[in-house]
Amino acid sequence: MSTPGAYFRLVRIGWVLAREDAFSAVPSEHLPPLARFVQRLAGLLARRRARLEARSGRLARAVERLGPSYVKVGQFLATRPDVVGAELAADLSLLQDRMATFPESDARAAIEGSLGRSVDALFAEFSEPMAAASIAQVHPAVVLRDGKREKVAVKVIRPGVRQRFAADIEAMYLVSRMQERFLPYTRRLRPVEVTKTLEQTTKVEMDLRLEAAALSELGENTKEDSGFRVPKVDWERTGRDVVTMEWIDGVKMSDIEGLKRAGHDLNRLAETLIQSFLRHTLRDGFFHADMHQGNLFVDDAGHIVAVDMGIVGRLGKKERRFLAEILYGFIMRDYQRVADVHFEAGYVPSHHDAASFAQAIRAIGEPIHGQPAETISMAKLLTLLFEVTELFDMQTRPELVMLQKTMVVVEGVARTLNPRFNMWKASEPVVGKWIRDNLGPKRIVADLRDGLHAALRVAEAVPEIAARTERFSSELMAMSENGLRFDAETAQAIGKAEARHTRSGRVALWIIAATLIYIAWQLG
């Protein structure tokens, strides 16, 4: 249930977006007449300077004005072109998560509150922040290990960020519910579910112990891999509000000239980056979902080092098989198999015709086979695939969209290192090995093993299932004889909730009316 504060914050969001002329960036062709009228009205409120600025960055600039919580929301939505559209996703991808630093005293207080020890007892040196984002900021520090000084990076949560986000997410839920109600064609995208995903993702990101755990897991997965690693975590100095990790000395992947001066082989780096990402995705089902150039370094040994594991993605065995079979089907031009995989996985509703779907898949695949391999974008292929599946009512799959968006970013980084980089040639060793291990005879053995384990678990649970079934049957029989009854406490709670909802709605309407009057008075 939305509170009056959520309506007030919604009006503020609308006012800032209107003043920055951000509504003009929203495509109007699919909007209902009332929404198009509101869009034109919002254009009249825009600042003259905002109208003269480049249209492509208006939404990003407006979101930055709204504050840290909304920057995080904007970055999340930039990973969901299926929800906001490719054009708006590209606009939001311009968001720079660079915020003003907060005082060192606040960082010290957060560390001491989280770890229960003084900063001076934990670190031999603790310096001023070197960078700040919407969620946290990073301090260089030094620790003593066996009498030796070791430089570390200390990431500290921004004070009050959880409270601000909890208040702002309520307004976002209000927007998503209104979207489902007034824009029925968007219900397929499940905006309320998307907001829940955003809430869960950000809550995870705001617990730095979980980021440390993600670093540790990816480190375990990649310890035998060559050319890729992540920083080691200092668990003694890590808590909910602080994570301490190995300091990385290296060249950022965005610094192409710096990489050349350091003598690194750019083509080999691009190949290692792509193969590492696909290995994490297919082999481990766990990948860094924010692998842009700012989060990637190359150390003196030539290893790619990925930092900032606040956003990660997971793929189950079914999703990994789905991805591999799609890539394999396109390579072999077996479009019927690609279509069948979608139906077998349950991603496309069964009432659609598989042959028609295969025809749509062919429209994507055939143009690819006439091009040089180095010009074919795997990320573009997946983007086109998701556009086609929209025509066949494929429900949004957040984990697949996150994978597709991350692949777009990773492929983009590889092509900045080498504009003629051959994605397919670099991918074949990883994808080919996974297909041979999981789509051939080994798959049958693995499926039999998994099926046997599942059967054993079911057999162990049979007595409990039988007992629950008997209880449910008895309760159902009693309900059919005596009817459904609420106890007094439940009935009273329902009445109070209904009254509270009505009262909140009236208050919210008065707040909106007062705000509109105030805006009109200001404009006058």
Residues annotated as catalytic are 290
Q: Write down the residue that tokens 């950022």 correspond to.
A: 252
Q: Specify whether the CB–CB gap between 313 and 287 falls below 8 A.
A: yes
DSSP assignment of 67-119: -HHHHHHHHHHHT-HHHH-HHHHHHHTT-----PPPPHHHHHHHHHHHHSS-H
Q: Specify whether the CB–CB gap between 211 and 309 falls below 8 A.
A: yes
Residue whose C-alpha is closest to residue 208's, from 172, 230, 234, 247 = 234
User: Cα–Cα distance between 446 and 498 in angstroms, integer?
Assistant: 53
Phi, psi (5° rounding) for residue 267? Answer: -65, -40
Q: Specify whether the CB–CB gap between 404 and 383 falls below 8 A.
A: yes
Amino acid at residue number 441: P
Residue 412: exposed, middle, or buried by beta-carbon count in 10 A (0-12, 13-18, 19+)? middle
Q: Specify whether the CB–CB gap between 313 and 218 falls below 8 A.
A: no
Q: Specify whether the CB–CB gap between 68 and 99 falls below 8 A.
A: yes
- The CA-atom distances, in angstroms, between 481 and each of 110, 180, 484 are 59, 39, 9
Q: Write down the residue that tokens 């009056």 correspond to.
A: 4
- The CA-atom distances, in angstroms, between 425 and each of 166, 331, 428, 432 are 46, 12, 5, 11
| Number of Cα atoms under 13 Å in the Cβ half of residue 227 | 15
Residue whose C-alpha is closest to residue 216's, from 236, 193, 205, 232 = 232
| Number of Cα atoms under 13 Å in the Cβ half of residue 205 | 28
